[in-house]
Structure 1
């Protein structure tokens, strides 16, 4: 009998498979593609995924090592996910072993068995009554009991914060005999016969048309671009499509761009459905993530909600995929496996022959072009749900206006007028900290990061300088390190400075700052959202965390500070991102009865792009932007790949990229390809985190030719001696050239 060899994908930077001898005690029937195998690799033991078995190998038998252990009796990765990972690794020019690693929860990567541990579920007691007199002065307990009553199967402990339930309230309900805990393994839960916990809302004609178009084709693949203005009721369309999917006994996968949108999304879904919901993102712990992953894989989760990595979750009865805010850059992984979750999700939907819905008020230009070419079905929602009107725009020219903490005097008057009406104001400034730079008034010294080509931001609350690129932190200097002057001044404005100024002007009004710094404490975001949702007059100051997904019915005035960077950036995507940001932030205004207003402060208030966007809308801007991209042969009318390299010495980086260029030119000439090679050039931020960075851009109007060149190039790059002293990576379809 011939020897059986294992071909294993290992989580290493090398883009190839590794051959091993099978353990003598293992039967051939156990060796199925998709199982985990522990093997010796160098001086350590690591876990890989078996790709195939074969009876021949190119490696001399005496050099082959024997696998240590077979960890699974059946494939851990079902065939659909296995094939999806293979496609992803191939398209994004990444190692298959590392791609499998991205698709697995951390505990499985560490060798833990794919088994549940006991979990606590909360239930409402049979005799529980919402009108119980003991709840009259306990609104939080009453609210918690109301949520529990909507979930006859119980509410998992890890979902409590997602639906804004305080565990202390549940303990008090338990003491009163109104609620109880039950310990069981998550897989013992069963699907509820009554899917709805709350009746759906009525559709307007546009919503109904969109719903009918998708719901009538749930049995086959199609990609739908649901382009609806902010507040048009896209989420209600999602919910009713998911309802139809669950009624057919299928599962639904919902991807969201940001973790901070998770709790409110889960809250809406748990209020609507008596369904088993799994939450998958980086803020759930490893054990919770594994339990949710197992539930989904075994068909015991009806709805999976998560950020981009949730895309790879096994779901045997998957019937629908929804990508909310499909334009968002967060769907593109920027390190390691540089995949775009939206694009890979479309491949998964095609492989599974199910529909996928891409939703956004500001679709990506690539998606709009796909719709124009008939690859996607475009469904538009032009009206706001519930009769709300689209906000009006005011472009305020600040060239001749003095600014205090970035705010002009006429803007302050508009804030005062809005607050006097008992309404709320949102001030958007996409810059954290107190000021973007600290400067010496005597000699002009500016605070710079010692490890990056960038200024450090002054954070007043902690009285320190921080680099927002590498995380470097420094104490605020007592005097100028260059001339020893003590006259150091913060220049420009960030969220902290804007918050401080507004607190001085509007002393009687709560000013809530919502950014990455202010929401680090667990529950802090929920607390602030609770104040906002109470409807009391207040001012919200924040970054892009406030720009999308949130429903603030009392916000009637939105102020956007400092948008001019997007009008003169060297990045060809900058204007698209700026337009999307403006429309998304503006969409927070006037979502209820009162019409919203949006003030855009700009020193380029009459710039054609701003005029077109505010007067003709996002889709007019998008058509103009697509026309410009077409004339310049930029994506989506061409295809890009970026070879990035970084090292501690710029000479080493340059040597590697020069060698890479020589190789690419040789392959280009041999194949007579249409690929254009641009560079190598230093990265726009040449030094980051102490490492020098440079890049080589490959561009072609033929995707196939680009990938053929990349395949040959990478094979040769791994052999280059100059590549051993630096780090390098390939980014296919990059969204950030900087």
Structure 2
């Protein structure tokens, strides 16, 4: 008689294998839910997690035994398992895929003895944290004091409030985070702080380390993001899971950090699209943070100067508590926004500069006064395309339906979608014309034109190309903070989150593209980006009265710019919500996007059309609106054709009831469409 016990284990089964839930195995002893194990899967031995619930194996199936138990790591909590279960169910992914993808990859490579050694070293190293002097705290503004008082009332035991902290740029939202974290830590709880991008993590980590890393009882702070080495990520993950770390700061993946005493979750810049995962399990870390707060009984603070329209509407409905920081620290003025109408500039033949005389004059005045300026253009490279005026040839990518961007620094044409790179040709490949020229502008070209327009000015550029090497971003930011740069050229990397004290002028040279985009979220993203960029100016109260933002536009009467000039997010949000309500767009409807990638556009279209037919047969599908398949904005990438099909529902529940059986059918449908390479379902998509 076999005395081994059946147990459910979540393993990362192959995608679309039909093995979406936990699998049944045999164990020689009782295992607590959340225990890490090694288990056989096919011919491999993989890491798994014992999952809550009773195993119910079929009598005719011979179960395989668990290969090893990783006792060195305490079991993951029931609430952590519930969070993963919800994420897998809501975003229509395999349970094991989600559960294992959010664990440190290094964890899968170690046996129990190796893990025990890592845990022992970590406990020993962190046994007695070094004490230090008590750090100074700035005096609170009336807005900050009022927000914290209300936050304290809402965070009474037994409550799990969601708070939208709507604060102007420079109004001191970070200080509110710090004080709220201080209260949670004093109560013996852990704090999770999420930021949208890796390059913002060190800056915020330094602020928290300065506040909590000293004093008579210093706190342990760790970060979790993809920029860490595998060993660092495992060490920080273990510190959080073992309860050794008091504060965890990280990007979207950190929302799954196991924290046994979680008491506060902060989502900084909650509107940022980077919180939405775009590969694999396409989850929203912001939305999962809200769900996790309810599970853990923890307060959730969503902070932003330009909240997402979804969060704003929930605050308007009373589902979130809105706290407002309406004034800058030191009562500094917001930068005056000046629009430059590009239609009124004289058209000089052969002149393609991005810089208006008004902007050049404003920059020159800052250089003379020893102040700094930020010039923002969200397009890297020298020019978007090379062009032959004789035959019309353009530097298209042979593998994508996109242009290869001209990079003057290394004289290459580079596709930013598939990475295909070639040296710049000496002549037009089609007609042999030697006079091929750049068309359009990127940050490299803008940097060059600024250096010509401002002789003697120290011009620097920060974008994805100039920060490739390790430590480059930190070095360049240090130069800006030290005053070694007069004019900083950058993409959105520098337009948000950074505290540049010497910048008094911000310029957006070419922001109009998003005004008339087919993506209904484009105006929301543009307004947020411009408001964030404007917030880099005048952060030092002594210079705030002369801070300014210059926006060069061909559409100066557009309502978006009118709201920007008044720094009136509420007016912009109200107008956008009214438009979306009339059009039946989120947050007044709920969307899912089915994407298909295939060798031909026809194969992708036929798969999506067949998928639509299957969906229509599912109970409840009559309430859905299924749009015809259309190509992506960039239809071909790396010789793969991409199509998408939008599904719209009046309620979230109706959409979810249809999606689960539909996904099961799609797994079988793909086997009938050999030309389809892969498909993916994106629930609550951000980019359409």
Using the size of structure 1 for normalisation, the TM-score is: 0.87
Deviation at 1:573, TM superposition (A): 0.3
Q: Does 1:691 align with 2:640?
A: yes
- Say which of 205, 208, 211 aligns to 2:148: 211
Tell me the residue number matched to 2:325: 381
- Say which of 454, 460, 470 aligns to 2:418: 470
Deviation at 1:283, TM superposition (A): 1.1
Deviation at 1:690, TM superposition (A): 1.5
CA contact (8 A) 1:370 1:376 kept: yes
Q: For the residues of structure 1 that align with 2:549 and 2:32, how far apart are their CA atoms?
A: 59
User: Against the structure 1 CA distance between its residues 214 and 456, is the aligned structure 2 distance closer, same or farther, given a 3 Å change threshold?
Assistant: same
Tell me the residue number matched to 1:137: none
Deviation at 1:55, TM superposition (A): 6.0
Q: Does 1:277 align with 2:281?
A: no
**Residues 122-173 of structure 1: CA deviation (Å, up to 9, x unaligned):** xxxxxxxxxxxxxxxxxxxxxxxxxxxxxxxxxxxxxxxxxxxxxxxxxxxx
Tell me the residue number matched to 2:216: none
Deviation at 1:192, TM superposition (A): 5.8
Tell me the residue number matched to 1:679: 628
**Residues 188-232 of structure 1: CA deviation (Å, up to 9, x unaligned):** 425769797412111111111101111233332000000001000
Deviation at 1:312, TM superposition (A): 0.7
User: Against the structure 1 CA distance between its residues 43 and 55, is the aligned structure 2 distance closer, same or farther, given a 3 Å change threshold?
Assistant: closer
Deviation at 1:688, TM superposition (A): 1.5
User: Against the structure 1 CA distance between its residues 450 and 216, is the aligned structure 2 distance closer, same or farther, given a 3 Å change threshold?
Assistant: same
- The secondary structure found in structure 1 opposite 2:551 is strand
- The secondary structure found in structure 1 opposite 2:643 is strand
Q: For the residues of structure 1 that align with 2:85 and 2:425, how far apart are their CA atoms?
A: 52
Tell me the residue number matched to 2:527: 579
- The secondary structure found in structure 2 opposite 1:486 is coil
Deviation at 1:456, TM superposition (A): 1.0
Tell me the residue number matched to 1:653: 604
Q: For the residues of structure 1 that align with 2:71 and 2:610, how far apart are their CA atoms?
A: 43
User: Against the structure 1 CA distance between its residues 639 and 196, is the aligned structure 2 distance closer, same or farther, given a 3 Å change threshold?
Assistant: farther
Deviation at 1:52, TM superposition (A): 5.0
Q: For the residues of structure 2 that align with 1:228 and 1:723, how far apart are their CA atoms?
A: 51
Tell me the residue number matched to 1:622: 573
Tell me the residue number matched to 2:662: 713
CA contact (8 A) 1:436 1:493 kept: yes
Tell me the residue number matched to 1:291: 235
Deviation at 1:586, TM superposition (A): 0.5
CA contact (8 A) 1:221 1:354 kept: yes
CA contact (8 A) 2:531 2:567 kept: no
Q: Does 1:551 align with 2:488?
A: no
User: Against the structure 1 CA distance between its residues 510 and 4, is the aligned structure 2 distance closer, same or farther, given a 3 Å change threshold?
Assistant: same
- Say which of 557, 560, 568 aligns to 2:516: 568
Deviation at 1:116, TM superposition (A): 7.1
Q: For the residues of structure 1 that align with 2:52 and 2:265, how far apart are their CA atoms?
A: 30
User: Against the structure 1 CA distance between its residues 190 and 320, is the aligned structure 2 distance closer, same or farther, given a 3 Å change threshold?
Assistant: farther
- Say which of 351, 354, 366 aligns to 1:418: 366
User: Against the structure 1 CA distance between its residues 74 and 433, is the aligned structure 2 distance closer, same or farther, given a 3 Å change threshold?
Assistant: closer
- Say which of 205, 219, 224 aligns to 2:163: 224
CA contact (8 A) 2:38 2:66 kept: yes
Q: For the residues of structure 2 that align with 1:453 and 1:247, how far apart are their CA atoms?
A: 56
Tell me the residue number matched to 1:336: 280
Q: For the residues of structure 2 that align with 1:273 and 1:504, how far apart are their CA atoms?
A: 46
CA contact (8 A) 1:5 1:53 kept: no
Tell me the residue number matched to 1:87: 86
* Matched ranges for 1:68-217 at <5 A: 68-72=67-71, 76-113=75-112, 115=115, 185=122, 188-190=125-127, 197-217=134-154
Q: For the residues of structure 1 that align with 2:625 and 2:124, how far apart are their CA atoms?
A: 53
CA contact (8 A) 1:105 1:293 kept: yes
Q: For the residues of structure 1 that align with 2:397 and 2:510, how far apart are their CA atoms?
A: 23
Deviation at 1:117, TM superposition (A): 6.2
- The secondary structure found in structure 2 opposite 1:482 is coil
Q: Does 1:60 align with 2:4?
A: no
Using the size of structure 2 for normalisation, the TM-score is: 0.93
Q: Does 1:17 align with 2:16?
A: no
Gaps spanning 5+ residues in structure 1: where?
A: 120-182
Gaps spanning 5+ residues in structure 2: where?
A: 214-218
Deviation at 1:264, TM superposition (A): 1.0
Q: Name whichever of 633-642 and 42-51 sits farther off.
A: 42-51
Q: For the aligned residues, what is the CA RMSD?
A: 2.2
User: Against the structure 1 CA distance between its residues 52 and 300, is the aligned structure 2 distance closer, same or farther, given a 3 Å change threshold?
Assistant: closer
User: Against the structure 1 CA distance between its residues 9 and 103, is the aligned structure 2 distance closer, same or farther, given a 3 Å change threshold?
Assistant: same
User: Against the structure 1 CA distance between its residues 532 and 672, is the aligned structure 2 distance closer, same or farther, given a 3 Å change threshold?
Assistant: closer
- Say which of 585, 600, 604 aligns to 2:555: 604
- The secondary structure found in structure 1 opposite 2:455 is coil
Deviation at 1:506, TM superposition (A): 2.5
User: Against the structure 1 CA distance between its residues 651 and 229, is the aligned structure 2 distance closer, same or farther, given a 3 Å change threshold?
Assistant: same
In the alignment of these two chains, the number of paired residues is 667
CA contact (8 A) 1:250 1:317 kept: yes
Q: For the residues of structure 2 that align with 1:696 and 1:192, how far apart are their CA atoms?
A: 54
Q: For the residues of structure 1 that align with 2:116 and 2:139, how far apart are their CA atoms?
A: 40
Q: For the residues of structure 1 that align with 2:312 and 2:371, how far apart are their CA atoms?
A: 36
CA contact (8 A) 2:74 2:242 kept: no
Q: Name whichever of 186-195 and 347-356 sits farther off.
A: 186-195
CA contact (8 A) 2:626 2:647 kept: yes
- The secondary structure found in structure 1 opposite 2:147 is helix
Deviation at 1:366, TM superposition (A): 0.4
User: Against the structure 1 CA distance between its residues 212 and 511, is the aligned structure 2 distance closer, same or farther, given a 3 Å change threshold?
Assistant: same
CA contact (8 A) 1:464 1:475 kept: yes
Tell me the residue number matched to 2:449: 501
- Say which of 283, 289, 298 aligns to 1:345: 289
Deviation at 1:5, TM superposition (A): 3.0
- The secondary structure found in structure 2 opposite 1:266 is helix
- The secondary structure found in structure 1 opposite 2:603 is helix
Tell me the residue number matched to 1:632: 583
Q: For the residues of structure 1 that align with 2:193 and 2:83, how far apart are their CA atoms?
A: 18
- The secondary structure found in structure 1 opposite 2:577 is helix
User: Against the structure 1 CA distance between its residues 358 and 441, is the aligned structure 2 distance closer, same or farther, given a 3 Å change threshold?
Assistant: same
CA contact (8 A) 2:72 2:116 kept: no
Tell me the residue number matched to 2:39: 39
Q: Does 1:701 align with 2:647?
A: no
User: Against the structure 1 CA distance between its residues 606 and 664, is the aligned structure 2 distance closer, same or farther, given a 3 Å change threshold?
Assistant: same
- The secondary structure found in structure 1 opposite 2:629 is strand
Deviation at 1:673, TM superposition (A): 4.0
- Say which of 641, 648, 663 aligns to 2:614: 663
